[in-house]
Every structure is written in structure tokens, then in C-alpha cells.
Amino acid sequence: MEIIIQPTPEAASAIAARMIARLLREKSDAVLGLATGSTPLLLYRELVRRKLDWSRVTTFNLDEYVGLAPDHPASYHCFMWENLFRQVNIAESNVHIPDGLAGDIPGFCQRYEEQIRAAGGIDWQLLGIGTDGHIGFNEPTSSLASRTRIKTLTQQTRADNARFFGGETAVPQHVITMGIGTIMEARQVVLMAFGQDKARAVAEAVEGPITAMNPASILQLHPVARIVLDEPAATLLRKADYYRWVYDNKPDWQKA
């Protein structure tokens, strides 16, 4: 795991944007795994500003709420088109987001996995982290080997996401999410977290035991996992000074 601590969300997002820009330069038909929520907003803004070529890029989003139509303002379809896809030259046929209205959810999830495989697998997977340690919507106690499937949100996550729905009761109870096993197959994974609210989940994921109680902790087993944080999200890391030293003393060729 590489832990990158930056003074602000802007600086952290710029680092993630540089990673994607470099990937798209080296592999113009890269397959990206993408996340929604508050955390990636600055990254997406920076990617739009950079005017990269997305014409051959394929994307797979982590998750979507069950029961929300793609044009629902709180759907992740809406989020992605508004904050990224509509502003870059991506082909609509290359965009994949779980279908919240799928009639046959297990069948849909199986096809989603097949589509990821048919695309050659995910090169670079972006993750946020829930205050309970979830990645995608793999809530605590999710199988660490899980594949794309339906999950039930915890009360904590529904409370955390109430801000997008104007109240907790309006937050759907179910979601379709890539599984932890699916996420772990991505060639590179970047988890971003900002703010003091994420500090405990981040510290447990990075420095605690690998446990289904904090799904993000599985990233300790990923061969190329980077955790990109702002200072408040790093406050509970016991070895923060060491991570800063390592990053500041990297050879230039290794820097993002």
C-alpha cells in the first residue's frame, strides 16, 4: 500500500488526475472503474479541465441505487453524466453503470461481471470509503470474495447519503454494487478520502487487521493500492510521518 497525504482535497485530487492522465497517455483504450459521491468531484473537475482524449476509454461504475431511474437526480447515472461524461468525449456505448431498474438483478449482475471481463478487466479503479469502511457499497461483513450483486445499505450509510436525497427516509435501501472480489481484480486501485469523518475508517483500513468489518482493509492484499488522503482524513494514522517521508523521498520516476 502506498499512502499519499496531501494538505488539501484539491492537491490530493490533482495527484489522482495526474495518474489517470498518465494512464490515458500510455493506454488510450484504458478501462477505468469509477466512483460517485462527494469525494471524486474535484478529481472529475480536474479531468475535465485537462481535456484528455476519452474516445477509446471504457468505464465501469461501482454502484447504483436499486429502484432509481437513470434520470433520477440522485441516481449515479445522473451524477456521472453531469459531473464527467457529458463534459468529455467518451462514447456512450463505452459507459457502464449498474442498472437500478434491472428486472432480473442476479442476471444483470452476472452480465456486468462478464462485460468487465470482455473489456479486458479494469486497469485503474477509483474508490471512496464510507465512514463504516465500505468500498463500493460493500458494507461491513460483506464477503471479501464477493462479486457484483445486490446489497442492503446500513443505516449509517443511508444517514451519510441523506444529503443527496433531502432526507434519510428517501434513500433507497438496496443497491447494486461491484463485489470486493471484483474490485480486487483491478490492476491498480486508488482510494481517496477527505475529511475528519473518514479518519477512523481510513486508519482501520490501512493499519488495522484485514477484516470484513472494514471492507477497505482488504486493499492491504492488493499489489498496487494507493490511498490518497487530505490531512484531516489522515489524523488517526499512527505512521503518518513515515508515509509522508516515503512519499517525499521517492525517486522522481516513481512519483504519480
Shorter beta-carbon distance to ligand F6R: residue 37 or 244: 37
139 is catalytic: yes
Question: At its nearest, how many Å lie between ligand F6R and the CB of residue 209?
Answer: 21
Marked catalytic residue, from 132, 160, 204, 230: 132
Is 82 part of the annotated catalytic residue set?
no
Please confirm, yes or no, whether 132 is among the known catalytic residues: yes
In the complex, the residues that contact ligand F6R under the rule CB under 6 A are 35-39, 62-63, 128-130, 134-137
- Residue 254, Cβ neighbours under 10 Å: how many? 8
108-142 burial code (b ≥16 CB/10 A, e <16) = bbebbbeebeebeebbbbbbbbbbbbbbbbbbbeb
Q: How far is the CB of 195 from ligand F6R (least distance, A)?
A: 8
Q: Which is nearer to ligand F6R, 56 or 164 (CB)?
A: 164
- Among residues 139, 204, 230, 231, which one is catalytic? 139
Strand order, beta sheet including 63-65: 63-65, 174-177, 149-152
The closest of 95, 99, 81 to 32, measured between CA atoms, is 95
Nearer to ligand F6R, 58 or 131 (CB): 131
Using the minimum distance from each CB to ligand F6R, give the nearer residue, 216 or 249.
216
Task: Give the nearest distance from C-beta 127 to ligand F6R in angstroms.
Answer: 6
Does residue 241 carry a catalytic annotation?
no
Residue closer to ligand F6R, measured from CB, 211 or 244: 211
CA 129 to chain centre: 8
Find the shortest distance in angstroms from Cβ 216 to ligand F6R.
9
Q: Which residue is nearest to ligand F6R (CB)?
A: 128
Smallest distance, ligand F6R to C-beta of residue 225, A:
15
Which of 77, 96, 134, 222 is catalytic? The answer is: 134
Residues annotated as part of the active site: 63, 132, 134, 139
